[in-house]
Amino acid sequence: MIDPDRFLRDLHKLRSFGASGVGKGVIRPAFSDADIAARKWLWEQFKNAGLEPHFDPTGNLFGLAEGPSVLLGSHSDSQPEGGWLDGALGVIAALEIARASDGGVSVVSFQDEEGRFGGLTGSAIWSGQQTLEQTDLFVDRQGVSFAQARAVLTDQMRDFVDPGRFTGFIEMHIEQGLTLDHSGQKIGVVSEIVGMRDLTITFQGQQNHAGTTQMHLRRDAFQALSAFNALLNERFAEVVTATTVWTIGHVKVSPNAASIVPGQVTFSVQWRDGSSSRLAQMEQIVRQAVADTADAYKMQVSIGAMVGLEPVAMNADIRQSLEASADKVVPDHWQTMPSGALHDATNVSHILPVAMLFVPSIGGISHDFAEDTAEQDLITGLKVLAGAVGVAN
């Protein structure tokens, strides 16, 4: 039987490793002293729970049940300035459920989900998305390589874990958005992790004196961007769903002076959706809107290479277990929803059936000392996850 108080105590204990900043803030990036201390503490907890603790060469920490098992977990590293929950919630919930089970539940804390060395690093290597050898060359912002960073655990590291021993992977995480906070629902069962497309676009017009250049003779790159944005919003409206999102988040105007008509603007357009075909349809709209704007505003255009990630559908069977469990624990207070953010489950989907569930984020705040979730909602998440894997709650 799961013990919500013990679960919350462990969650607060994990927070003590790297506790910093205001509120419940945490500074625990991958392979920092706080992260290593937290992993060693988790190692002990896994052992005490009757699991076999196991570091793989990336620093991923598993707690392995004997025989076939379902894998639960997330990651325990944090952003340079992060909150106390984020991935830690999924790891400690997994620990509590494994402890309360009669076996058949393994636990994982993936390493460097937050991207000191690129992002989702531990799960990417384990799932074969990138090699240990190439990753060893990646350096953080201080010039420290992944090889140097992981050397601190060399003594404890063993081989990679065979994914064949797991029947599937379920990751619980805070939502990191406003959907549940606004809807008032307590659980989000994830339908898919959305795919993403990202383009960097440059409009090149003509830099001119802002006093001496008449309006009809201008080729103002900022005006082109503004018109492109309006056109894109108008055309996207015809194809998107309520959960599709798109963003112009990066804008660089040149020469960027009040008295000079902008000669050039470079900007990002990023869009996310659960459907590959809709992502492709939106790409066509972006490229057509760029071309139409360039014609109308006499711009030269350059478009960078497409950065893309395909959507990841959740496994139907596991998802159904989560829905059935949510329906018991909080009837009428759960919903299905896509995940707009990437998670370790994205990588793990290449080697195992995966599913995810979310608990609400207060104010949608994430990657910030101010990140938080009501403790009752954390317990609800624990219960739903336990129920989904057949552990009494």
Q: Is 214 a residue that touches a second copy (CB under 8 A)?
A: yes
Q: Does 13 bind a second copy (CB under 8 A)?
A: no
Name which of 242 and 305 has its Cβ closer to a second copy.
242
How many whole angstroms from its chain centre is CA 259? Answer: 42
Q: Are 15 and 88 in contact (CB under 8 A)?
A: yes
At closest approach, how far in Å is the CB of 213 from a second copy?
5
Binding flag, residue 296, a second copy (CB under 8 A): no
The reply on whether position 164 binds a second copy by CB under 8 A is no
And the tokens for 250?
Answer: 């990066």
Between residues 152 and 260, which has the closer beta carbon with respect to a second copy?
Answer: 260
275 binds a second copy (CB under 8 A): no
Only segment of 35-43, 92-100, 190-198, 319-327 that touches a second copy (CB under 8 A): 190-198
User: Binding mask 320-339 vs a second copy (x if CB under 8 A, - otherwise)?
Assistant: -------------------x
Quick count: other Cβ atoms within 10 Å of Cβ 308?
14
What is the closest distance, in whole angstroms, from the C-beta atom of residue 231 to a second copy in the complex? 11
Give yes or no for a contact between 275 and 283, defined as CB atoms under 8 angstroms apart.
no
Query: Contact at 8 Å (CB) between 122 and 59?
Result: yes
> Which one among 8, 139, 253, 370 touches a second copy, defined by CB under 8 A?
253
Q: Report if residue 256 touches a second copy, rule: CB under 8 A.
A: yes
129 contacts a second copy (rule: CB under 8 A):
no
Question: Which string of x and - marks every residue 95-114 that binds a second copy (by CB under 8 A)?
Answer: --------------------
Which of 62, 228 has the CB closer to a second copy? 228
| CA 393 – CA 386 distance, rounded (Å) | 6
Closer Cβ to a second copy, 67 or 211, answer by number: 211
Distance of alpha carbon 127 from alpha carbon 220, whole angstroms: 47
Q: Which residues pair with 260 in a beta bridge?
A: 209
Scanning 9-17, 141-149, 259-267, 315-323 for contacts with a second copy by CB under 8 A, the matching segment is 259-267
Q: Which of 26, 314, 342, 388 binds a second copy (CB under 8 A)?
A: 342
| Among positions 143, 209, 331, 332, the unique one binding a second copy when judged by CB under 8 A | 209
Among the listed residues 137, 217, 291, 392, the single contact to a second copy using CB under 8 A: 217
- Number of residues binding to a second copy, judged by CB under 8 A: 57
Verify binding: residue 340, a second copy, rule CB under 8 A: yes
Q: How far is the CB of 367 from a second copy (least distance, A)?
A: 8
Check residue 341 for interaction with a second copy (CB under 8 A): yes
Q: Which of 225, 314, 352, 354 is close enough to bind a second copy by CB under 8 A?
A: 225
- Give the Cβ contact number of residue 349 at 10 Å: 22
Does 208 engage in binding with a second copy (CB under 8 A)?
A: yes
Q: Does 305 bind a second copy (CB under 8 A)?
A: no
Looking at beta carbons only, is 154 or 212 nearer to a second copy?
212
**245 binding a second copy? (CB under 8 A):** yes
Site of interaction with a second copy (CB under 8 A): 175-179, 182, 194, 196, 198, 200, 208-215, 217, 220, 222-223, 225-227, 229-230, 233, 242-253, 256-262, 268, 270, 272, 339-342, 364, 366-367
